[in-house]
Structure 1
Amino acid sequence: MGSSTSVAAGRRRHKARDRLLLRWHRWLGLLALVFLLLAALSGCLLTYKQALIRAIITPGITLPATYGVAQMAPQLEVIAGRIQGDSSGYLIKAPNSEEPYWTLTRDADRQVQLLAWDSLQPHQQNLWLLQALSFIRELHTELFAGVVGEAILLVSGLLGLFLALSGLVIWWATKRSFRWRWVLPRQFNRSYLMHYHRHSGALMLPILLVILLTGSIMLWQKLTQPLLTPPPPTQLPRAMASAASASAGEWLAFAQQQVPDGWPTYIRLPAPGVAAVTVRYRLPGEWHPNGRTSVKIDLPDGSLTLSARADEVDWPQRLINQNYPLHSGYGMHGGYKLVVLIGGITLFWLSLTGGWSFIRRHH
């Protein structure tokens, strides 16, 4: 008799806990609903940003296998001559196999220009896409609200992690009722909204956790402080003679000597208030599409600073360095990029069905 009473009491406590968790899940989900919808939709559109640019703006353009720093250096000199005198600095991205064009981003207004890798003439076809992608990116990363928008997205990402884990706990009691028709319904029925919601979320939980966690970590590091302090850069004993009078091509060639196995990605040339040249590199086999290794040449003394190589840092720092490719799919295998897209669609679907179900329940 006592044993039966104890079991019954335990079941009541278990049901009360589940009801409380469900209540928190619903109300916190409602709080984050709009922001998760926006982040998921914009993220899906950005997943294939590079492919869209290649298909619509630079169709049929490929980078020759023989193209390298020897060809980049004189082209960089031409680009430097064009932007010289502009009061705003530029972030210059060198061509690579996935982006066979020079990319110039103006600091003042974030205006983007694509230059042909061979002639350095601006690509003029379908430039509306660049404006659309810039709009979507700003929505995805800061909700057009700067730091405030980033903070909202960080809170929404953390809430999304709670929703994903609490949703699994809630679903677990009904796991035996899992059917593929709840995940891929042949015919949509509003009566089954919660079935679609719970079973889709449970199935896609791993990739949802990766997307939400990596996005939250990147925002956290940007808004507060890095989870791990990166290794300090190394001041190399070698300096570049006459660095102040050197050309952009000579700066690039000298920087390349410090990372001979790297591919130049982002390049910062001297600008008003910035008396230095910085070249960022992607190392062989590195997931991050822009790399995490950089060389800085200070002007006018030519002193050289090399960041810790991405392939030589400790494993925790390497893991932190993979946040961006794991979150976006950039630089990753095409199969993983497809999984990221499906994860974004699922996050949008879960937000939509969860919000819709809540509204139907309370009206």
Structure 2
Amino acid sequence: MTLLDGLHRWTGGLIGLLLVVIGLSGLMLVHKDAWLRATLPHAADVQMQDTGRIGSAMTAIFSDPRATSVTLASRTLGVHRVTYGDRDHGAYVDQTGQTVTRWDSKWARPEVWLFDLHHYLLVGDTGKTVTGIAGLAGLGFVITGVILWWRTRRSFEWRLWPRAWNRFGILRHHRDLGVLAAPLLIVTFATGVMMTLKPVEIAVLSLLSSKADMAAAVRVPALQGGAYVSSTIDWPGMLRIAQQRFPGAEFRVVNAPSKPGGLIAVRVRQVGEPTPNGRTFLWFDPANGALVGVRNSLALPAGARVAAYEYPIHSGKIGGWIWSGAVTLSGLALVVLGGFGLYSFWLNRLLPRKPGRKRT
């Protein structure tokens, strides 16, 4: 038990700050749409799903050859978000296609750099891997913390703040709060790990479906489209085709070809899909708007369908205000646990040592 206690303390003391950063940024991102509705013109507009209106907006947006992707207005955000080239360049556009605001650096928009911080630690794919490893460590903290708490369970107290602001009071509060938050933290860490560490996700989902079946089901069509997006392409007509193929589905994302010969991808959300942007795709030839491929998310293998729940559970995008509130509490708990844990750990080591006092 002494070894487990030392492992829990030292690991937390070394990477606790990283978990605080991840928890705080994630907590803020849960409420991103609400903040944008309060601060951005047209962000509170009612979502419109008319094919003519969306098609007209796509015509205006993709007249700029730098536009690569459009996330369409949703039930919680009344503007389209356009990406130009990479994640650092973008714009918010109202539902008629008029630009509301544009940025050429992620630092120009707080929600953009917060997303980059939470998912990539501002350093790209390497940061994504680090956050996944931190999530694994977080799972370890929760499990070892519950084991260590068990021997002191009779002194458990329901307290928001420590009874005493000394090392013993903070440590006791840390253990009790950790047990209370353990179920939420396990869900948060587990879903985050599965989204960021593909080997872990595949290992878990392969219990439901084979790796080969899941890879084949989500493979993009190997067809060659036109060399570029035609300036005369009939965007409303393409969207009507998508609507006929999946009646009642919500238009969510439109992606231009990422390279010459690629395809236009229209992403829709069918009734019953948990992912906010859906995982149902229709691919079109950018030269003439002809439909060349379809992926029905509801017909995917069981493992791939379960994977669709990772993001909405992790981000609070499912279950209404009840689950978004639970994810908010999870983020708050992670910040408090990490902050107080760091304070307690380093306070014990940085303060002048009194005679007879042992460091733990």
In structure 2, C-alpha distance between the alignment counterparts of 1:233 and 1:136, rounded to whole Å: 29
SS for the counterpart of 2:133 is: helix
C-alpha deviation, 1:326, in angstroms: 0.7
Return closer, same or farther for 1:193/1:255 CA change in 2, 3 Å cut-off.
Answer: same
Query: 1:211: which partner in 2?
Result: 188
In structure 1, C-alpha distance between the alignment counterparts of 2:18 and 2:33, rounded to whole Å: 25
Normalising by structure 1, what TM-score? 0.82
Query: 1:15: which partner in 2?
Result: none
SS for the counterpart of 1:204 is: helix
List aligned pairs for 1:137-216, cutoff 5 A. Answer: 137-181=115-159, 184-185=160-161, 189-191=165-167, 192-216=169-193
In structure 1, C-alpha distance between the alignment counterparts of 2:68 and 2:132, rounded to whole Å: 28
Query: 2:355: which partner in 1?
Result: none
Query: 2:263: which partner in 1?
Result: 276
C-alpha deviation, 1:246, in angstroms: 3.3
Is 1:259 equivalent to 2:259 in the alignment? Answer: no
C-alpha deviation, 1:189, in angstroms: 1.7
C-alpha deviation, 1:69, in angstroms: 2.5
Query: 1:20: which partner in 2?
Result: 3
User: CA RMSD, aligned part only?
Assistant: 3.1
Query: 2:292: which partner in 1?
Result: 304
Report how many residues are paired.
332
In structure 2, C-alpha distance between the alignment counterparts of 1:62 and 1:355, rounded to whole Å: 43
Unaligned runs of 5+ in 2: 351-360
Q: Please say which structure displays the higher CA radius of gyration.
A: 1
SS for the counterpart of 2:298 is: coil
Query: 2:74: which partner in 1?
Result: 96
C-alpha deviation, 1:331, in angstroms: 4.5
Q: Is the 8 A contact 1:164 1:209 kept in 2?
A: yes
Q: Is the 8 A contact 1:248 1:269 kept in 2?
A: no
SS for the counterpart of 1:179 is: coil
Unaligned runs of 5+ in 1: 1-17
Query: 1:4: which partner in 2?
Result: none
Is 1:349 equivalent to 2:326 in the alignment? Answer: no
SS for the counterpart of 1:110 is: strand
Query: 1:14: which partner in 2?
Result: none
SS for the counterpart of 2:53 is: helix
Return closer, same or farther for 1:330/1:289 CA change in 2, 3 Å cut-off.
Answer: same
Residue 35 of structure 1 aligns to which amino acid in structure 2? L
In structure 2, C-alpha distance between the alignment counterparts of 1:298 and 1:125, rounded to whole Å: 29
Query: 2:217: which partner in 1?
Result: 232
Q: Is the 8 A contact 2:252 2:267 kept in 1?
A: yes
